[in-house]
Amino acid sequence: MSLMAMLSLVISSTLVYSAPLIFTSIGGTFSERAGVVNVGLEGIMGMGAFASIVFNLTFSNTLGSATPWFGLLAGALIGLIFSLLHAVATVTLRADHIISGTVINLMAPALGVFLIKVLYGKGQTVPISHDFGYASIPGLASIPVLGQLFFAKTSGPAWLAIFVAVLSWYIIFKTKFGLRLRSVGENPQAADTLGLNVSRLRYSGVMISGLLGGVGGAVVAQSISLNYSASTIVGQGFMAMAAMIFGRWNPIGALGASLFFGLSQSLAVVGAQLPLLKTVPPIWLQIAPYVLTIIVLVFFFGKTRAPKADGVNYIKAA
Amino acid sequence: MTTQKNSFSVALFSVIFGLIIGAVIMLVFGYNPILGYVALLGSAFGSMQDIGSVLTQMTPLILTALGFTVAQTAGFFNIGLSGQALAGWVGSIWYALTFPSMPVYFMIPSAIILGTGLGALAGAIPGWLRAQFGASEVIVTIMMNYILLFLGNNILQNTMSKGIKVSAETTKQVGANASLQMKWLTELTQGSSISSGIFISLIMIVVVWFVMTRTTLGFEIRAVGLNSDAAKYAGMSAKRNAVIAMAISGGLAGLAGTIEGLGNYLNFFTQNGSPSIGFDGMAVALLGSSSYLGILAAAAIFSVLKIGGLGMPMSSGVPFELVDIVTASIIFFVGASYLIKLIQVRIKAMDDKAATNAAAKKELKASQLEDKNQKGGE
């Protein structure tokens, strides 16, 4: 295998595995910047995956090859609606954020499989016929060398995710809305004193996390698993949560951490095809991403600091 | 992370609301909720074997819930219970199969200590990394779940000798010298896989309660969890207590895994994902509001729903997943206890209003009567 071919294989599979983590970890960043801990990302991704597959199976005949992109929208919508449960529980009903997030995680796979059984009569769906697959980005793909590595036969959702990461960074750190969102996550009382609507801002943080988490789940379902069952989303949400903390509650950081996780996961998958890694026992490739994460975390990052009022309910004095 | 002390009535309301939500869902999708719940109860309590299964299901959940609570008391969020349980499971089975002729009174204590120790080690590592380097225990435990899962499967598939396996994916069953199952219990429950593990779990509730509320160690762990700076100022070592708390937490999970191995399954087989007893134990701890009796009750409710749910598809056609939706709803209402308290306050206010209204009416009547009497008297 030529060096070019090897590099492009690693890069494209890295992007495929990173894309869902990028979307979801940025979603988590919005929620936690607003002060709502979101352990429920896993469940939100599960509902997004469920919605996108049902949508995809239902409309693939009419929408053709554009189906997965519309499936993404379906996942986003259902993810957003589902996240309202978390928002209502934590913001309005003052529930413990961890408890509410755990409820989301317990509820999603149960509800998803229950509905699949009601709809299709069995616990998992048939494979979808239109998935994301690999596409070339017109124009950019014709750049010599770089175009071939990064933009030809690449993952469309991953590039969308990278765009969303930059956009989110801009929103959180450079806009009025972002400043307000961060202020309710750091000191809700001060924000309230200045006339900001703490509840509304926290609701919007959680809902954005629902939207992006739903997209993340839809990407997993339509580019990796290609069907929906109880095992479509197993742990990706927790990985995304780790990427969010690793990225220090910053969208660009979350992007970097997600790409790192994606790279190590893809090495475990495509490693057998690469001459250098062929001789390494598969178990080392399997656990490498997780061991590396711990090492990097311990030696290079150390203390991580969450937004100050993250996980603290704001109870307005009557 | 605040632990909410819920009154008994909140828990009761939560269970009732959860069951109502389940009934509504069954109605919406065209199932008969009464039939569904009758099937659930029948499958959980229908025979001694069913009751044995409920107790078998409860056993590890009590332990992992205790483990979650100990870590939470020290200010840790231990998502790694699954991996820690798996470490205990693989270790104890491997050990028991390697020494098939060791006498039972030596084998069982040593296997339990080994399994618990492996879990404790798997818990202590993230505790130490957080205490020493400030590394988030959430990330480290999530990563360790994967590492232990892959290592466990790899040990089974590649490291264990062929002699102790029936296939590449499954070990042999452990011998009578390592089994925690007891003949009289098995016979009493018509061959369910209940074991003496249930007694170990019940004893551990008392032990953990005692250690956490009646000893210096428990006091220090609670102090560190409440305010580590204040604890440090009072001369306690936050680092030492962090590691110990996470080791106890992991040890309890490891014990749960050991009992799953030597008591329930009697073997180890390839796992597709981290064992669910970790996450379910977390749910049980939250449902029990981290109180020790609460954990026992929550584990019982959780297990009745799980085992009962298994019988629902057969006799009422309701998919098994419904019980998980009910469980999640119950925990939702426990978490959102503010809602239930609000409803209780409303009801009380309405009662009071009704009472004062009634009293006012009575008074009015009485005064009218008096007026009449007075008039009559004139």
Q: Are A52 and A217 in contact (CB under 8 A)?
A: yes
Q: To 10 degrees, the CA torsion angle through A140, A142, A147, A151?
A: 50
Q: Give domain status of residue A238, yes or no.
A: yes
The ipTM estimated for the assembled molecules is 0.86
Look at B82 and A298; give whichever has higher pLDDT: B82
- Give residue B357's pLDDT: 84
Residues B172 and B215 in one domain: yes
Listed in sequence order, the residues at least 6 apart from A99 whose beta carbon sits closer than 8 Å to its beta carbon are B286, B331, B334, B335
By three-state DSSP, how is residue A279 classified? coil
The phi and psi torsions of B283 (rounded to 5 degrees) equal -65, -40
Residues B73 and B118 in one domain: yes
The rounded percent of chain A whose pLDDT value lies above 70 is 98
Q: Give domain status of residue A56, yes or no.
A: yes
Q: Give domain status of residue B326, yes or no.
A: no
CB contact under 8 A, A117 and B332: no
By three-state DSSP, how is residue B170 classified? strand
Task: Tell me the pLDDT band of B368, cut-offs 50, 70 and 90.
Answer: confident
Of A94, A102, A287, the CB nearest to B147: A287
Residues B124 and B159 in one domain: yes
CB contact under 8 A, B139 and A113: no
* Length, in residues, of chain A: 318
Of B129, B146, B272, the CB nearest to A290: B146
To probe the interface with A, which of B136, B153, B228, B301 has the most A CB atoms within 10 Å? B136
Q: Give domain status of residue A306, yes or no.
A: no
* Average pLDDT value for residue range B293-310: 92
Q: Are B97 and B164 in contact (CB under 8 A)?
A: yes
| pLDDT tens digit sequence for A145-155 | 777 777 777 78
* Residue B159 near chain A (CB below 8 Å): no
Query: How many domains is chain B partitioned into structurally?
Result: 2
Query: How far away is chain A from the Cα of B271, in angstroms, using its nearest Cα?
Result: 13
Instruction: Specify which residues A154 forms β-bridges with.
Output: A135
Residues B80 and B214 in one domain: yes
- Give the lowest-confidence range in A252-261, B343-352, B369-378: B369-378
| pLDDT tens digit sequence for B66-76 | 999 999 999 99
Residues B342 and B289 in one domain: no
Q: Are A45 and A130 in contact (CB under 8 A)?
A: no
Highest-pLDDT range among B113-122, B180-189, B224-233, B342-351: B113-122
- Give residue B2's pLDDT: 37
Of A96, A235, A293, the CB nearest to B1: A96
Residues B266 and B302 in one domain: yes
- On average, the pLDDT of chain B sits at 89
Of B135, B282, B321, the CB nearest to A298: B135
The phi and psi torsions of B267 (rounded to 5 degrees) equal -155, 180
Task: Tell me the pLDDT band of B65, cut-offs 50, 70 and 90.
Answer: very high
Q: Is B326 left (phi over 0), alpha (psi -120 to 50) or beta?
A: alpha
Scan for tokens 């801990």, then name that residue.
A37
Q: Is B266 left (phi over 0), alpha (psi -120 to 50) or beta?
A: left
For residue B359, the surrounding DSSP H or E stretch is helix B337-377
Its domain, for residue A168, covers 3-301
Task: Tell me the pLDDT band of A281, cut-offs 50, 70 and 90.
Answer: confident
- Give residue B98's pLDDT: 94
Q: Give domain status of residue B67, yes or no.
A: yes
**Pairing relation of β-strands B165-167 and B170-171?**
antiparallel
Residues B204 and B114 in one domain: yes
Amino acid in position B277: I
- Give residue B10's pLDDT: 81
Task: Tell me the pLDDT band of B3, cut-offs 50, 70 and 90.
Answer: very low
Is the CA virtual torsion A97, A101, A106, A107 positive or negative?
Answer: positive
- Give residue B375's pLDDT: 56
- Give the lowest-confidence range in B10-24, B30-44, B51-65, B333-347: B333-347
Residues B218 and B350 in one domain: no
* Average pLDDT value for residue range B136-145: 88
In this model, does residue B82 exceed pLDDT 60?
A: yes
| pLDDT tens digit sequence for B151-169 | 999 999 999 998 899 998 9
Look at A115 and B192; give whichever has higher pLDDT: A115
Instruction: List the 46-105 stretch of B: residues with Cβ below 8 A of A.
Output: 77, 79
Taking CB atoms and an 8 Å cutoff, what residues of chain A touch B339?
Answer: 93
Q: Give domain status of residue B15, yes or no.
A: no
Residues B140 and B45 in one domain: yes
CATH code, domain with A18: 1.10.3470
| pLDDT tens digit sequence for A28-45 | 999 999 999 998 999 999
Provide the token pair at A287: 């656990």
Q: Give domain status of residue A312, yes or no.
A: no
Distances (CA, A) of A151 to A259, A269, B347: 16, 21, 63
For residue B171, the surrounding DSSP H or E stretch is strand B170-171
If DSSP states are collapsed to H, E and C, what string results for B33-60? Answer: HHHHHHHHHHHHHCCHHHHHHHHHHHHH
Highest-pLDDT range among B2-11, B211-220, B326-335: B211-220
Scan for tokens 């954990």, then name that residue.
B295
Provide the token pair at A189: 């009382």
* Average pLDDT value for residue range B85-101: 95
List, as own/partner pairs, every contact residues B270-273 make where C-beta atoms lie below 8 angstroms and the sequence separation is at least 24, other chains included: B270/B153, B270/B156, B270/B157, B270/B169, B270/B170, B271/B86, B271/B149, B271/B152, B271/B153, B272/A231, B273/A231, B273/A234, B273/A235, B273/B149
Look at A110 and B375; give whichever has higher pLDDT: A110
Q: Are A40 and A105 in contact (CB under 8 A)?
A: yes
In this model, does residue B377 exceed pLDDT 60?
A: no
Provide the token pair at B83: 């991996």
| pLDDT tens digit sequence for A55-93 | 999 998 888 888 999 999 999 999 999 999 999 999 998
Task: Tell me the pLDDT band of B370, cut-offs 50, 70 and 90.
Answer: low
Instruction: Specify which residues B171 forms β-bridges with.
Output: B165
Task: Tell me the pLDDT band of B372, cut-offs 50, 70 and 90.
Answer: low
In this model, does residue B373 exceed pLDDT 70?
A: no
CB contact under 8 A, A110 and B328: yes
- Give residue A131's pLDDT: 85
Residues B359 and B239 in one domain: no
Its domain, for residue B276, covers 35-319
Residues B204 and B288 in one domain: yes
Taking CB atoms and an 8 Å cutoff, what residues of chain B touch A297?
Answer: 135-136, 139-140
* C-alpha Rg value of chain B to the nearest Å: 26
- Give residue B378's pLDDT: 46
Query: How many domains is chain A partitioned into structurally?
Result: 1
The rounded percent of chain B whose pLDDT value lies above 70 is 95
Of A96, A107, A242, the CB nearest to B142: A242
Look at A268 and B122; give whichever has higher pLDDT: B122
Among residues A241, A290, A252, A311, the alpha carbon closest in space to that of A39 is found at A241
Highest-pLDDT range among A120-134, B276-290, B295-309: B295-309
* C-alpha Rg value of chain A to the nearest Å: 20
| pLDDT tens digit sequence for B269-281 | 999 888 889 889 9
- Give residue B325's pLDDT: 93
Burial category of A53 from C-beta neighbours within 10 Å (exposed 0-12, middle 13-18, buried 19 and up): buried
| pLDDT tens digit sequence for A186-198 | 999 999 999 999 9
Q: How many CB atoms lie within 10 A of CB B359?
A: 10
Look at A175 and A283; give whichever has higher pLDDT: A175
The rounded percent of chain B whose pLDDT value lies above 90 is 58
Amino acid in position B60: P
Residues B296 and B360 in one domain: no
Task: Tell me the pLDDT band of B1, cut-offs 50, 70 and 90.
Answer: very low
By three-state DSSP, how is residue B115 classified? helix
Q: Give domain status of residue A276, yes or no.
A: yes
For residue B342, the surrounding DSSP H or E stretch is helix B337-377
CB contact under 8 A, B150 and A241: no
Q: Is B251 left (phi over 0), alpha (psi -120 to 50) or beta?
A: alpha
- Give residue B99's pLDDT: 93
Provide the token pair at A91: 């913001």
- Give residue B12's pLDDT: 84
Q: Give domain status of residue B4, yes or no.
A: no
In this model, does residue B55 exceed pLDDT 80?
A: yes
Provide the token pair at B366: 């009485």
Q: Give domain status of residue A219, yes or no.
A: yes
Distances (CA, A) of A199 to A47, B55, B317: 24, 43, 42
In this model, does residue B376 exceed pLDDT 60?
A: no
In this model, does residue B290 exceed pLDDT 80?
A: no
To probe the interface with A, which of B21, B69, B143 has the most A CB atoms within 10 Å? B143
Query: How far away is chain A from the Cα of B137, in angstroms, using its nearest Cα?
Result: 10
For residue B166, the surrounding DSSP H or E stretch is strand B165-167
CATH code, domain with B268: 1.10.3470
Q: Is A248 left (phi over 0), alpha (psi -120 to 50) or beta?
A: left
- Give residue A112's pLDDT: 95
Instruction: Specify which residues B165 forms β-bridges with.
Output: B171
Instruction: List the 274-333 stretch of B: residues with Cβ below 8 A of A.
Output: 274, 279, 282-283, 286, 319, 321-322, 324-325, 327-329, 331-332
Distance CA A44, CA B193 (A): 35
In this model, does residue B334 exceed pLDDT 60?
A: yes
Taking CB atoms and an 8 Å cutoff, what residues of chain B touch A311?
Answer: 1
Q: Give domain status of residue B119, yes or no.
A: yes
